[in-house]
Structure formats: structure tokens, C-alpha cells
Amino acid sequence: MPRGGVNHRGEQLALLAGLSHDRATDPRLGELLSDVEASSLAGDPESVEAVNIRELRRDYDRETRLPRRLVEELARVSALSSQAWSEARDQDDFPAFAPWLDQTFALAREKADAIGYEGVRYDALLDDYEPGMTTDHLSTLFAHLREQLVPLVDSVRAATPSTNLNREFPLEQQRAFAEGAATKLGFSLDSGRFDLGPHPFCSFIGPGDVRIALRYHQRNFASGFLAVLHETGHALYEQGLDPAHYGTPMGEAVSLGIHESQSRLWENLVGRSNGFWQHFYPQFQDAFDVRDVSMDEFRRVINHASPGLIRVEADEVTYNLHIVIRFEIERALLSGELKASDLPGAWNELYTRYLGIAPDSDRNGCLQDIHWSEGLIGYFPTYTLGNVYAAQLFDAAEHSVGPLEDAFAAGDFSALRGWLGENIHRHGKRYAPAVMIEKATGSAPDPSALIASLAHRYGGTG
């Protein structure tokens, strides 16, 4: 969109946000909620009616705590800040963006104070994305992860894949192979479609309409293919929600962390596995005439781990340290302990400490993500929570239905998909995310399964 129109777009978005806020906080809605809360519909807390009432009340109460002025200003500044971030990133000019970052975090503090919190401000913002999660719980979980992952990253730092797959993979053949794999996993073409886009993503349009946008690279098969599996995980969750409850909390995904668990599970725990490629590697060899690379060599290449600067390009071993860094920094920015002008130094110091690498520019450092410019503070932790949940869910599913890799090798993904549908998808927002994980796996959110999985596959023990 034209850069010169950003101020006008900001005003338009502010108006729309204000109008939406008016509808969401209509006193009549509060009266109706009070009526149904006093009725027998709110009895069994796990019933469809009680869940819907509870979640609608939660949303209503959070929204009514926010003044319209603040809602409008958040929307307006987000538009302006995102434009400033884009230009600063293109020009590698962090000082030009710093004032917008200050303004964004000032508004975030105001939002947190309006909503209210029992612990720290960050709790109020985190609750937007992962209801019920607290900063204290996250800090403990992330500290455990950091303690285990830093030495694991050091151990893989010098590893190099034995085979180079940097060769031509025709884009149309990649697309056919990847889409075939996604449908084999269970993605329904009767209820969705594939398209090409500049960045992979999954969009839920409505019941029976889930769309996946894909991107392929001519000389990097793994990047495009693993992204397809990632988005397929998101899509399977959306296709697994009960369409009878569309438009209500019981027909919606419970949190970003749970949603991310579905994409990470299919991308990493399924798509990188030996069983998966026992089934698909012969088809891969036929599709791309790759006869000089064994399956084991191929897997070593696509599972190669090494520290890098860019979060979205990170492997599964190093990825969570990128998130830990962002978690620590955005808490410091929100509390005022860290000033925006000091962000590049703090960023570079943490990258050096945790990943052993120093950004060569702010473009490849603290300007690489759009999230803060859009006011998405508290969002980043859900990526790692998704990895934690995914490992727990995979272990629990295997306990329940038997050796999953044996099924994958036979081309059968229905047992895992069915288990996830029964334990996650069909419940909508019936349970808080942490409760859902505990009911499905028998334990509260815990990084132990993720650490054990990564250590087994990358630590030389498997």
C-alpha cells in the first residue's frame, strides 16, 4: 500500500476498532450474559452451554475494561509503527524505529493496567494469547529449557551435513509432492485448498474452508516442504473443530500455544522422523530423481542443526532460544528496565550468550520481527509453548495408540490424527490450555518431553 497513505489508514483502523469495541461492550450484551449465567444453562462447567457462557463473559469483561480511546490509539499506532518498522528494517536504521517502540510499549503498559493483573503487567498481555498462563510459570519453564538447550546447541555447533542437497528441485514437482503428502496426513481438499504466497500461512475462512498458502525454493527442498507440514498441522486443527459450534467458543481453537503445538508436532515430530521418510522417501526419489543420496543421508541434511541469526529460519534445536531471548527482552521493555534505545545492545548480548553468535546488523538482529511494531506483546512465548505441548502430546499419543513410527512407515497417519482430534480438536475452548494438556497427557505443561526428544535426536543418543 502507498506509504503516503499510512496516516489515513491509521485513522480508518482506529475508527473501525472503536466501532467494534462499541459492539463488543454493549451493555445489553452484559445483561444477556447475566441472564444466562443465572439460568440452568451454566450448570455443568464442561457443558457446551457453560463453556460458551464462561468464555463470552471473559471476553466481555476484558473488553469493557479497555476505554474506547485506548482501543483506537492501539490500532492507530500499530498501523504507523508497522510502516516505520518496515522502512527501518529495509534501511537497517533502528534509531528511526526506536521512538515507535517506546510508544508501543507505553500503550501496552496502559492496556495491561486497564485490564488488571494479579502478578505482573506481562500477565495481562500474555493472557490475550495463552489464557491462564503466568509470567512466573513461563519464567520457570523457559529457565529449564535454556539450561538444557545452551549446551546442546554448543554440541551441534560444528556439525556439518555429510551430503549437499543444494540442487535444483523443480517448483511444480515440489508443489505436487508436498500437497500429496499433506493430503496423506489428512488435509481434506473437500474442505480446503492450497495456493502459492509470499509467506506460508493457514487461513480459516469458515466451516469447510481452510486455506493453505505455500512458498517453495528451487534449491532448498526442506524449507518449503517442512513449511507445508507446519501449515498442514494448523489446518488439521481447524478442520477438526466441530462445525456445529462455529461462531461460538466451543468451535474455536483454545490458544495460540495449542495451535502452534499442532503445527510443530506434524512438522518436527512427524515430518522429520525416520518412519515418515521410510514411507515418503521412495516417492521423493522418484519425483526428483535423487538416486545418489540415501535416506539416512537425506535425513541428516533436513535435520541439520546449527545456530543462526534469524528466528524463522532456525532449526528445532536452536529455535526456542530465539524465543527465550525475545521473552526476556519484552519483559524488560514492558517493565521499563530496558529502554528502546538500548535494545540493539541487549539483543546482541543475549544472542552471544545463548547462541554464541552476534548479529551483523540490526536488520538481522532486533529489527527482524514485525510483532512488536504491531503491539503483539506476549505473543512470542506461544511459539515455544507449542513445541513443549507438541512433545508431550506426541508421547501421550504413542502411549495410547502404540508405536507411531511403525504406522508412519506404513503410510498410516490416521491413529495420530484421530487421537489429536479426540483429545484436542473436538474440545474447542472447553478447557484452559494448561488443563487441556494435562487431561490429554496426564501432566501439566512441562519441557521435559521436548528436551528428551531433542537430546535423543541431536545429542548423539539416537
Active site residues: 231
User: How far apart are alpha carbons 382 and 195 in whole angstroms?
Assistant: 26
The greatest distance separating any two alpha carbons of the chain, rounded to the nearest whole angstrom, comes to: 70
**CB half-sphere exposure, 285, CA atoms < 13 A:** 12
Residues pairing with 204 in the sheet: 210
Length of the chain: 462
356 torsion bin: left (phi>0), alpha (psi -120 to 50), beta (else): left
432 torsion bin: left (phi>0), alpha (psi -120 to 50), beta (else): beta
The DSSP string of 350-419 is: HHHHHHS---SSSTTTTTS-SGGGGT-TT-THHHHHHHHHHHHHHHHHHHHH--HHHHHHTT--HHHHHH
Nearest CA to 159 out of 272, 317, 29 is that of 317
User: How far apart are alpha carbons 33 and 234 in whole angstroms?
Assistant: 31
Q: How far is CA 264 from CA 200, 331, 379, 390, in A?
A: 14, 25, 16, 6
User: How far apart are alpha carbons 80 and 78 in whole angstroms?
Assistant: 6
User: How far apart are alpha carbons 447 and 434 in whole angstroms?
Assistant: 13
Q: β-strands 209-214, 201-206: how paired?
A: antiparallel
- Report the alpha-carbon angle 245-240-134, nearest 5: 80
Give the alpha-carbon dihedral of 322, 328, 333, 334, to 10 degrees: 120
Contact 54/41 with Cβ under 8 angstroms? no
Nine cell digits for residue 129? 494469547
**CB half-sphere exposure, 89, CA atoms < 13 A:** 14
Q: State phi, psi for 376 to the nearest 5 degrees.
A: -85, 70
Contact 72/265 with Cβ under 8 angstroms? no
